[in-house]
Amino acid sequence: MSSNSPDQPDRATLERWDADHLWHPFSSPTVHPTDPPLIIDRAEGCWLIDLDGNRYLDGTSSLWCNIHGHRVPELDLAIRNQLGRVAHSTLLGASHAPAIVLARRLAELAPAGLSRVFFSDDGATAVEAALKMSFQYQLQRADPKPGKSQFLSLRGAYHGDTLGAVGVGDLGLFHDRFGPLRVAALHACQPACYRCPLNLKRPTCGIACAAEAAQLIRKHADQLSAVIIEPGIQGAAGMIPLPDGYLTQIREVTRQCDVHLIADEVATGFYRTGTMFACEGEKVIPDFLCLAKGLTGGYLPLAATLTNSEIHSVFAGRPEAGRGFYHGHTYTGNPLGAAVALANLELMARPGFAAHVAELISTLEQELCGFQRFSTVGDIRQRGLMAGVEIMKDRGSGESFPSSASVGKIICGWMRQKGVLLRPLGDTIVIMPPLASSSDDIRHICQTLMQAILAFEDGGQLGKV
C-alpha cells in the first residue's frame, strides 16, 4: 500500500487488475502475466519509486520525454496556477493566453521563419498534421500540383503509430501488417555507418547515402510532396546517427526540387542532441518542424507542428472557399499543457542549462568508450544525450542474436534489479537520461550496464542463445 494513497488497492490487487484490464503499449498480452509490470508510485528528481519504496534511476527519461526530472517545483507550480484559472478550453473558435504565448515563444525559438504553430497531442499527431498540411498545400498553391501526393522517408524510419505516420514508417514489426491500410512512402537507404547498405566506409564514402537519397528525390520530384527525416539521429530505428552533412545535402536537394522537408524532432528536440533543435546543428531550416515529448518537460501530452507564413498563407480564404485546414483535436493546445510547456522553456533559458547538457554529453561519450572491451558489444552509437549500445553474438563476424533470445530484455531486466531503468530496441540498449541528470547519474547508468553485460557474458547465458 502506498503511504501517499491510503485508499489505493494493494500491490497484488493492482497486478491482477493490470493483467485483467490494462493493455500496455508495445507489448504482447500473452506473456504479460508471467512478467508483471513495475508499478511506479511516485518520483523524486531523476528517480522513480515503486510501491515497495524501491528506487530506480530513470535512464530512458520515461520514454524520452523527461527533461528536468520529476516533481520539479516550477513545473508543478505552473500547473497548479493554471488549474486555478481553467483546466481546458477549446481552440476551436476561441483562444486562451497559455496557447497564444506558447505559440509566440516557440516561433521565437524555432529556426528562422517558422512562425506558425499548430498544436496537437503527441508526436504522431504532430507528424500527421505536417503530412496533411504539406499535401493540402500542393493542392492549393498558386500553381496547384495535385500529383505531388507521395512522401519519402528513410529505411528503418519510425514517425508514430497513426495511419499517416505509419505510411512513412519502415519498421517491419510495427508497420508491415498494416500494409493494406496505409499509403506507403518511398524509402531512401538508411544512413547506418555500422552496416552501410552501400558497403562503404566513413569518412571516405563522401556520404554516398545522401547522394542516393538525393537521386531518389530528383527522380520522383513531380510526385513528392515532402521528405520526412529525424534530424541528427534515427531514434526508434536503433539510435542511428546521421552522418554530419547528411541533412544539409537533403535540404539542398528538396529546395531545388520544390519538395518540402519535414523535420521530425519529436525525440531530438529540446537539447537532446546538444542544441535546442537538432536541425540547428547543420543550420538547416525545414518547412515543417514537429515537436512533442520534451515540449512540456515530460509532464503532459502536448505537441506542435511549426511551418512558415508562405505555407500558412495558402490556407487563407473565406470559409465557403473550403481552403482551411480542417483538422484538430479536442485537447488541442490544452491550457495546462501549454502552461507547463512555458515553464519548461523558462527553465531551459536559465544560465548554465546548455552548458550542463554539454557536460553530460561529454561524460556520456567518455563512459561509452568503456564498452569497447566487451566481446558482445558490436556498435556504440551516440548523438548528444541519445545513445545505443548494440549487443551481438559475435562482434568479429557481425552475427546477431536471434530475436527469440530477447537479449536486450534480459540485460535490461538485470539492470532493473539493480535500480536502473533502461528499455531496449531489440538488442540495442538505449541510454537517454533526463537532461537534469548529474554526471554521476550518467556514470552510474553506464557502469551498471557494463556490470549487466559482464554478468550476461559470464553467467552462461551466451551458451543458451
3-state helix, strand, coil in the chain (%, to 5): 40, 15, 45
CA distance 273 to 122: 20
Q: Can you give the pLDDT at residue 461?
A: 54
The 3-class secondary structure across 355-419, one letter per residue, is HHHHHHHHHHHHHHHHHHHCCCEEEEEEECCEEEEEECCECCCCECCCHHHCHHHHHHHHHHHCC
Say if residue 92 is in the same domain as residue 131: yes
Q: Is residue 14 part of a domain?
A: no
Q: Is residue 53 part of a domain?
A: yes
Q: Can you give the pLDDT at residue 136?
A: 98
Cell (9 digits) for 190: 538508411
Q: Which residues of the chain have pLDDT under 70?
A: 1-6, 30-35, 460-465
Q: Is residue 26 part of a domain?
A: no
Q: Is residue 141 part of a domain?
A: yes
Say if residue 84 is in the same domain as residue 53: no
Q: Is residue 400 part of a domain?
A: yes
Say if residue 162 is in the same domain as residue 268: yes
Say if residue 169 is in the same domain as residue 215: yes
Burial call 63-73: b when 16+ CB within 10 Å, e when fewer: ebbbbbbbebe
The answer to whether the CB of 187 falls within 8 A of the CB of 152 is yes
Q: Which helix (H) or strand (E) holds 291?
A: strand 288-291
* Total count of domains within the chain: 2
- Tell me the residue range of the domain where 335 lies: 76-348
Say if residue 161 is in the same domain as residue 190: yes
Q: Can you give the pLDDT at residue 425?
A: 96
Domain boundary (326, 348, 370) is at 348
Torsion of the alpha carbons at 294, 18, 330 and 289, rounded to the nearest 10:
30
Contacts of 342 (CB under 8 A, 6+ apart): 78, 98, 101, 102, 105
Say if residue 199 is in the same domain as residue 330: yes
| CATH number of the CATH domain containing 134 | 3.40.640.10
Based on DSSP, count helices (H) and strands (E) in the chain, helices before strands.
Answer: 15, 17
Q: Is residue 24 part of a domain?
A: no
Domain boundary (348, 369, 395) is at 348
Q: Can you give the pLDDT at residue 32?
A: 47
Q: Is residue 20 part of a domain?
A: no
Residue 40 dihedral angles phi and psi, to the nearest 5°: -85, 135
Q: Can you give the pLDDT at residue 443?
A: 99
CA distance 388 to 368: 9
Domain boundary (280, 314, 348) is at 348
Say if residue 156 is in the same domain as residue 305: yes
Say if residue 268 is in the same domain as residue 413: no
Say if residue 369 is in the same domain as residue 334: no
CA distance 440 to 48: 17
Q: Can you give the pLDDT at residue 27?
A: 84
Say if residue 175 is in the same domain as residue 306: yes
Say if residue 66 is in the same domain as residue 177: no
| CATH number of the CATH domain containing 377 | 3.90.1150.10
Q: Is residue 2 part of a domain?
A: no
Say if residue 257 is in the same domain as residue 360: no
